Amino acid sequence: MSDPQRRCIATGQIREKEDLLRFAVSPDGILVLDVQMNLPGRGIWISCSQQSVELALKKGLFAKSAKRAVTVPENLVLKIDEALSQRCLALLGLGRKSGLVTVGFAKVEKALRSKKVSILIAASDGADDGKQKLKRIAGTLPVVDAFDNDELSQALGKENIVHASVGSSGLTKKITFAVSQLSRFRDHDDVN
């Protein structure tokens, strides 16, 4: 059985719910990103890309879809990016607290060599030589480089985090999905 599908208000494409962002309208008429996809009310679904959101804003599609006046927050695209980033970092922090996340070059290298890693994390502002060495060892594993040293350090509760890895557990799927959604939002252009 496949996941429920919804129609994107910007592209008109029918997609799996996981490929879309869900918005809801608060009782006072404010458009709200529903990151967890569980807010009450009729959902407004849009492809997970900046271009789709920008098109919906330009054409007034949020209000049209809601069939009522909607107050759209200023800098919506930036706020969506921030919310998706914060969800990724919060999940990584949760993984660190549960012992799922390993930090530090030597420990990550050891975990990679023992095949106990599902995701490699590299700070976007880290030195290229260390990142490249770990990427070679990681092979086909997903590599997350969407966050800088400060963001990773704050999320993982240690200073100067450049290299980290995520082991395998149920939380790994959530982290993978959250990072994938952030990446799609930042990079994917599916507007025709």
What would the pLDDT profile of 88-122 be if each residue is shown by its tens digit?
Answer: 999 999 999 999 999 999 999 999 999 989 999 99
CA distances to 44, 68, 105 from 149, in Å: 35, 43, 13
Task: Give the pLDDT confidence score for residue 83 in this predicted structure.
Answer: 96
Parse the chain into domains and list their residue ranges: 5-73, 79-187
The listed CATH number (3.40.50.720, 3.30.1330.30, 3.40.50.1100, 3.40.50.150) that belongs to domain 79-187: 3.30.1330.30
Each residue's pLDDT expressed in tens, for the chain with a length of 192 residues:
456 899 999 999 999 988 999 999 999 999 999 998 889 988 999 999 999 999 999 999 999 999 999 999 999 999 999 999 999 999 999 999 999 999 999 999 999 999 989 999 999 999 999 999 999 999 999 999 999 999 999 999 999 999 999 999 989 999 999 999 999 998 844 333
Report the C-alpha gap between 190 and 19 in whole angstroms.
11
Domain spanning 5-73, CATH class: alpha beta
Report the C-alpha gap between 146 and 53 in whole angstroms.
20
DSSP for 44-111, please give it. EEEESSHHHHHHHHHHTHHHHHHTS--BPPTTHHHHHHHHHHHHHHHHHHHHHHTT-EEESHHHHHHH
Residues composing the chain: 192
For the question of whether the overall pTM of this predicted structure is more than 0.95, the answer is no
